[in-house]
Structure 1
Amino acid sequence: MALFDDGPVSPVRPRSTGRRVGWIVLGVALAIALILALMPAPYVIEKPGPVFNTLGSTKDAEGVETPLISIPDQTVYPTKGSLDMLTVTMLGNRESRPSWLNILSAWMSPSEAVIPLDDAFPPNVTTEQQQQQSQIAMVDSQQDAIAAALTNLGYTFPAFVTVASLPTDSPADGILKPDDQIVSVNGTAIASVDELRAALAASGAGKPASIGIIRDGASMTVDVTPVDIDGTVVAGINVSTTYEFPFEVKIQLDRVGGPSAGMMFALGIIDKLTPGPLQGGETVAGTGTIDESGTVGPIGGIRQKMYGAVDAGADWFLAPADNCSEVTGHIPDGLEVFAVSTLDESLAVLDAINTGADTSSLPTCPVG
């Protein structure tokens, strides 16, 4: 019998079915996680936005460089350094929401904030309507900043309450018109928005209020029945305060909305109308609303604005005192923050920086 040796025979190894299934499950899980991460989230993100030096220039829509503040018919003094106004950029809206991956990244960043979509963009307000309201707020804040600055410098001028617009389904629709000047409510003279609110509250909701107006130079009286919205009596009009300033002050800033630049605009105007740099040529940033009397009010996005100030090279920051609860414990390294409630307090801080005085006695937010 002949035997033939065909060489060594390789052992048969069964395929690792379990390992293959494991990789498939992992791949599917990763794919699902990626899909979920890229899905739109019910949030938007606030992050530091552009910084504008109110003593400097900006480019308009046509790319032409224009001073943020110009006062053509008055003596304007040289300025030095920066008085920076800060902005917040909103990532997302109802039409384009950020992904969960974006949201996770924002949660991990101290300079960003995650805001519920409904808080940032109320369901009954369109993105376009909100942008329009923001632009109106910016225009009003600029006028209030001019009024606060000129009042601080000793100028006097008349002020008027004017209808800016009427929202949808307003009880004043067809009765009041934009540009109507409101002079009285039930015979009580009106010279400010606060006085209008108080007069409407005293009149009450559900019954006609006699509103005196000036339209196209003619005086007349109309009846509007205010309504109660969340405990506030309103006539269904958006109003603003207009002023007859003794000279022209132009503020040029496109594509930025909201009222939070008021205080820094007021400081910039004062700096230009008075000799010597208010802050000694330093880089000072700040934020806050302002009214014609010089009262500084709270704003949104204070933490993002502090990080924007640091990125712009500021060492000093003026924060509304009413925002201190959001400031405490969140101040970026290298930034000294002062709490201010009035334009005079802001000027006192700038004077201390200018003269090199001890700033330890100036108001600050409590340390967390």
Structure 2
Amino acid sequence: MSAAPPPPPVLLDGAGGDTITDVSGDPLDRRSFVLAATGLGASLLIAVLSILPAPFAIGGPGPTFDTLSEVEGVPLVEIEGAPTFPASGELRLTTVSVARGSSSAFTLGRVLRGWADEARYVVPEEEVFGTPDEEEVFEEQSAQAWITSQESATVAALEALDQPVPAELEVAEVIPTSLATGLLEPGDVIVALNGQDVPTFSALADVLADVTPGDDVSVSYVRGGQTAEVAFATLDDGAGGALMGLGIDPGFELPIDVSVQIDSVGGPSAGLMFSLAIMDMLTEADELADARVAGTGTIDASGDVGAIGGIAMKMHGAVDAGADYFLAPADNCGEVIGNVPAGLDVYSVETLDDAYAAIIGIGSGDTDSLQSCRSP
């Protein structure tokens, strides 16, 4: 069987240029020709752009890590200095992965797919990474925050288990608006607040929590081996709490050593899941009873859970990893609502105590008392 002949070529008509005539003699109007040519040009442009590197950053769900698991026979979270107990289930920390067009050379097609995917975001590279100098500073801060979050997670976990962690509370900074300016200085060590000894960071926070913003506080401190006392008015933190306007660098005396076998993650947002893993491992109870829980959130030494970025992507990453439950900082509820993937139950937590109660409730199947993010 012979092949069908090719379609006849289209030729421009030289008589006035108002029509295009194919060899069969059928006229085509100029509008049809312009539309056809424009469509062809757009298709060619898209084809070219789709293979050229795009100067965008694409964020999406990153890998998750079960903090109760092992890596080549070594616990991902390893504790020395205290007995540990087997733990069932999963406590997964979640991450966000960011790719950049200048180094990954992804195409416009990938950018367009990222825009259309609710689990991803696409922004110009500079919005994420900034200048080279800014990026270097950010990476250094992220690495330091990763290390600091592990210490804070350990302190918070121990104190939540009623094991106080002694600390030397050294003043690292007096902020310019503080009314302690000229009275306290970096290097001073706070030993008492309003007449109450503060041997731990949480003790300091507890005493300050009873102070009304604007009221005076009396601070006993040690400078150069000498103890002295000053009084000054507190500030308002904007949420009804009192602030001294001091940056405190607590030197913790940890009774245990905790090491983490992850070197590919930065930032402080894994703190909550570290704390829960430590609590689970230090207690005989089987809190999870094989439940698969993921989550995110910063943690400070007082056990307060802080908001993080990219929570929608982290929830999708949790589902991809097989988690059935997710713990979200209460301050992230605005981003949680409307973005929860199918099959995932999300509970909001404000403190480590909330989070620990949540995994116990999940493990026992009693979740009625747990808090969920709700629309205002």
Fold-level similarity (TM above 0.5): yes
2:371 to 335, 347, 363: 363
Structure 1, 15-24 or 304-313: larger mean CA deviation: 15-24
Q: Where does 1:207-226 land on structure 2 (aligned, <5 Å)?
A: 210-212=185-187
Q: TM-score, normalised by structure 1?
A: 0.71
- 2:95 counterpart SS class: strand
Query: Aligned match of 1:254 in 260, 263, 271?
Result: 263
**1:159 pairs with 2:139:** no
**Aligned residue for 2:57?**
44
Q: What is the alpha-carbon root mean square deviation over aligned residues? A: 3.3
How far apart are 1:276 and its partner, in Å?
2.3
Other-structure match for 2:289: 280
Where do residues 94-113 of structure 1 align in structure 2 (5 Å cutoff)? 98-113=106-121
Evaluate the alpha carbon distance shift between residue 76 and residue 330 of structure 1 in structure 2; reply closer, same or farther with a 3 A threshold. Answer: same
Partner Cα separation in structure 2 for residue 127 and residue 95 of structure 1: 14
Q: How much has 1:98 moved relative to structure 2?
A: 4.8
Output the CA distance in 1 between the equivalents of 2:275 and 2:262.
14
Query: C-alpha offsets along residues 95-139 of structure 1, whole Å, 9 cap, x if unaligned?
Result: 667543222101111211223433322337443332222111111
The answer for the alignment partner of 2:178 in structure 1 is 202
Note closer, same or farther for the CA distance 1:116–1:327 as it changes in structure 2 (3 Å cut): farther
**CA separation of 1:201 and 1:52: change in aligned 2, threshold 3 A:** same
Q: Which secondary structure does the structure 2 equivalent of 1:71 belong to?
A: strand
- Aligned-pair identity in percent equals 38
Consecutive unaligned residues in structure 1, runs of 5 or more = 1-12, 59-63, 162-182, 184-189, 191-195, 221-237
Moved more, 32-41 or 333-342: 32-41
* CA deviation string 1:80-107 (max 9, x = no partner): 1101100110011766675432221011
TM-score by length of 2: 0.70
Matched, 1:335 2:311: no
Partner SS, residue 50 of structure 1: coil
| Distance in structure 2 (CA, Å) of the matches to 1:160 and 1:38 | 58
Q: How does 1:1-368 map to 2 (within 5 A)?
A: 16-17=11-12, 18=20, 27-58=40-71, 65-92=73-100, 98-123=106-131, 125-160=133-168, 183=170, 190=171, 196=172, 199-202=175-178, 210-212=185-187, 241-357=250-366, 359-367=367-375
How much has 1:239 moved relative to structure 2?
9.1
Give ranges in structure 2 of 5+ residues lacking alignment.
Answer: 1-7, 13-19, 23-32, 190-222, 226-246
Shift of 1:29: 3.4
Deviations 1:212-268 (A, max 9, x none): 379xxx969xxxxxxxxxxxxxxxxx9965422012222221111011000000000
CA distance in 1, matches of 2:43, 2:343: 41
Contact 1:83 1:283 in 2 (8 A): yes
What is the aligned length? 297
User: Does the Cα contact within 8 Å between 2:303 and 2:352 map onto a contact in 1?
Assistant: yes
